[in-house]
Structure formats: C-alpha cells, structure tokens
Amino acid sequence: MLSALAALAALLALAVPAAAAPRDPDRPVVAVAQGALRGRVHDGAQEFLGVPYAGAPVGDFRLRAPAEPRPWRGVREADRQAPACLQFSPFGLRDPLAVSEDCLYLDVYRPQGARAGEERLPVILWMHGGAYSQGTGTQFGGRTMAALTNSVVISINYRLGQLGYLGLPELAGEDPRRSGSFGLMDQIEALHWIGRNAAAFGGNPGNVTVSGQSAGSGSVCALLAAPAAAGLFHRAVLQSGPCTLLRTPDAARAASEARAFAARAGCADPGAVVACLRAAAGPALVDAARTLPTSGPASGDGLLPRDPAAAIAAGDWNKVPVLIGSTRSEARFFVALTQPRLTEQEYARQVLDAYGAAGPEVLARYPVAAHGSPYLALSALMTDSTFACQTARTTDLFARQVPTYAYEFDDPDSPTLAGAQVPGLDESNAHSAELAYLYDFTMGDRPLTAVQNALATGMKRYWGAFARYGSPVVRGQTPWPAAGPTGSVLTLGPGGMRPDRGFAADHQCAFWQTRPDRPL
C-alpha cells in the first residue's frame, strides 16, 4: 500500500509541470508513465529520442534483470539519442567513444499529428543486429517509415556481449528464471514499456510487431519461444536471421563459455565471481571478451526453455503472423571481410576440407568458372547453405502453423555498409543490404537512387501493412501470396516486385537438405 501511494504521489507531482509546458508544434510533449517528454519534429515526423525504458544496469545492477526506469520531475528533453551499449566487437559507430553501460534507451517515431487517445496506430519495435556484440538502435531512424505507413516505430538498445549474455550458474541463481540472458530480458522489458506507454504516442498496445535483422532476427526467434513474452506482441518480422540457422547454445555450453570469460577477466573464484564481475571496469570486460564467442541467449532455462527452432517445430511458441526473408547474396558481406583475395586453390581446399566425401560434388555445383571468381563462388555456396535454404526451412515451419509471407531482396546495385567495401569486389545484395530501404539508416555507403527510393517506398508500405493487418496487402502493389507448400517467395527488386516459385531451386535447397548443416 505504501509503495502504491508513493507511486501515485510521484505521478501527481509530475502532472503539474507537464500541464504547464508551453505548446509548440515543433516540440511536441507526451506524458509516459515516468513523466513528460518533449520531442521534436524532423523530416515530416515527430521523434522522441533517448527515452529510458529500464533503469541503468550499472554498479550493483550490472548483470541483473532490468528494472523499471525512475520517474522524473518536469519535462524531460527527448531530442538527443542516447549512447550505444558497450561494444564487444565495434564496427560502424560514428563516434566509437559514444558508448556506455547506461544504455537501455529507445527512440520513438510517430507521424505528425498523432495524438494520445486519438489514434490506434500499429507499433513496430525494431531490434538491431550485430552478432549480439555490436550495434545500436540509434543507427535506424524510423521517421520515414512512421510518416509513410502511419505507424509508431520504436528502435531500442539492448545489452551486448558478455554483459548481455552470460550463462554463469552463479548469476543465473540470482534470478527466478535462472537465466543470464540479460539482452533478451531487456527486449522483453522494452515490450512491457510499450504496453504501458504506446497509447501516449497514439499507438495501439494491442497491435505490436517485433522485428529485427541478423542477431535482431535471432532475438525475434527468442521472443517467439519465450513464455514471458507471450501476449506482448502480435506480429513478427525476421530479416536475414532464420531460427533454424541461429540456434541457441544450451545451458552447459553457455556455462562453459561464461567460465572461460570470467577466468580471463580475473574472476575465476566461484565464490567471488559475481562480485568480481560487477566490480570490474567495463573496458576491462570488453578486453577479456576478445576472441571469445558471444552466442546470444541460451536455451534450457526458465526464460527460454527450448531452442526457438525446436519450439516452433513442436508448435510450442507464441504464434503470430510472420514476415520472413533474406537478401540474394547474403554471404558476400562475410567473405569480403574475411577472405577478399581468395584464390581458386584455396577455395577448393576449403570446400574439400569442410565437406569431406561430399566436397567434390559441392565444388561441381559451385564451380569458379560459373561464378566468375573464387570470392563469388564461395559467397554463393555460403549464402545457399546457410541463409537462403535455412530461411526456406524456417519459413516452412511457420507456414504450417500461421500466416507467413516470405521475400528475397534482390537489388544488384544496392549500397553496402560504410567501411565494409573492398575495392574490386561486388558486394551488392549482401547481408544488411535491405536495411537502407526500410529505415533511415546511417551506415549505408551511399544514398539510394531515385529508382531505389521507389523500391524502398514499396517495401515500407508492405512492412507497414503487415504491421497493421498481419498481411502485407497494399493497394496498387503486387499481391504478396502467403508462403506454403509451393514455396512462393516475393522478390523485391528495382525492376519490380514479383512472386517467385524458383527460390528453392535457385539456391539448390534440395541438395543442401541432404548435406550436413556445416557451413564453411
């Protein structure tokens, strides 16, 4: 009772300053559960930046489940983005020093004119990728998506690396769910925040879409299988991160990796390991994690009882309509960064070593002569054996149970990520190529052309319709057939959008279904 009275008193104290805030059409004010926010108008939309959705996970709150954010008095300025979470493998940040453990913030974008209580706009929650070790929601503006599709777009930060995913038994024992997947807990906390506050922005808390790319898509997989996330969202978008590819480590593997990290951080004593990790400097923990894997959320605990792919296959998941897809040449990005000058002899040796007796057949299906270079041949092989055919496999699991819509992004002149270009290599259609077409993306190496902007507009409209209706039906655009036994996929390209039943054949998925799941 005392805590309830204290909370009521805090809200009453906030009401007077909020009501007294001057009205300015360029500086809109909204009232969320913690207090009033003053945003700004930018590029035809309203944005509220750097909004805390959880308490700061610092000091004794490091490596704990997120807590609700503290209320504030008066009107909080929400016109500046918050720092990124600590990066465990930095790439692409404009300011590498703009990081902090105090990073559980989100950015909200809504159409101009949206008002609390007057709209029931669909809400799109975006979770960035980055191998669970890098990235930030601030790289993904939602202004254009919000204005074009009349929706509320929210992009979040969540804890990364071993600060976000540490399956240490001593830590897990502190939480009733016995889990160290703090990044997943952050994402669930963000969904709770949306449930409490979406209406303040004109959004509908009963129509929330979770979406993500790469590790962000893996996070969507985890939310689909997490009992604690049931009822918090109503649609799901998975971009370049099929659940059957991004498998979760089990508790034993997660614990082994966590102990290796703790030992490297100088915290090997089991009796003092938790206090030691909480007292360590953040940069020291980043240094300790170098060369160690970051596997993302672990399964087999109270937060994520089963690996998401296994849960979906068994029908034991949070069933919602799904939109899923990949880019035409996903692996070009990874090969360009790791083996840009691969020779034909090196390519052949890698394939033979990886696939053993099946190696000659793999080489025959992906000959250098047919692709033009070892780089392109290896990229095609890796794309097909991982992202493309695993996307088809995951799509089939979904389509047997819920309305499912599959796509392939195919723009042979698409931009790539700034800083990832290798002179002389064609990196179009690679991993992350579609991001600049959907969001106000800050990491593209060049602006979109007029033709590409037209494609981007069509894609945003599809995504917005899916968020609104659970079906990407847009008047005047190509009908998007639901996925099913025929394997229909909608190709998204500058030459037009068209249903394509040849996706599985183009990527040789019948062959890869008979091969061991062992990407190079």
The set of catalytic residues is 214
HSE-up of 68 (CA within 13 Å, CB side)? 13
Q: What share of the chain is helix, strand, coil (3-state, %, to 5)?
A: 40, 20, 45
CB 217 within 8 A of CB 282: no
User: Which run of H or of E encompasses 51?
Assistant: strand 45-52
Contacts for 196 with CB less than 8 Å, ≥ 6 apart: 32, 33, 205
DSSP state letters, 354-380: HHGGGHHHHHHHS-HHHHSSHHHHHHH
Task: Tally Cβ neighbours within 10 Å of residue 326.
Answer: 33
Pick the closest to residue 344 from 373, 315, 312 (CA basis): 373
CB 85 within 8 A of CB 106: no
DSSP state letters, 5-18: HHHHHHHHHHHHHH
Which amino acid, one-letter code, is at 355? Y
C-alpha 462 chain-centroid distance: 19
Chain position carrying tokens 């390991």: 273
DSSP state letters, 20-84: HSPP-TTS-EEEETTEEEE-EEETTEEEEEEEESS----GGGTTS---PPPP-SSEEE--SPPPB
Bridge partners (DSSP) listed for residue 124: 153, 209
CB 237 within 8 A of CB 324: yes
HSE-up of 101 (CA within 13 Å, CB side)? 22
Chain position carrying tokens 């004010």: 29
d(C-alpha 143, C-alpha 110), whole Å: 7
d(C-alpha 473, C-alpha 481), whole Å: 9
Contacts for 174 with CB less than 8 Å, ≥ 6 apart: 64, 274
N-to-C CA span, the chain: 59
d(C-alpha 437, C-alpha 213), whole Å: 13
Q: What is the largest CA-CA distance in the chain?
A: 75
Helix (H, G, I), strand (E, B) or coil at 198: helix
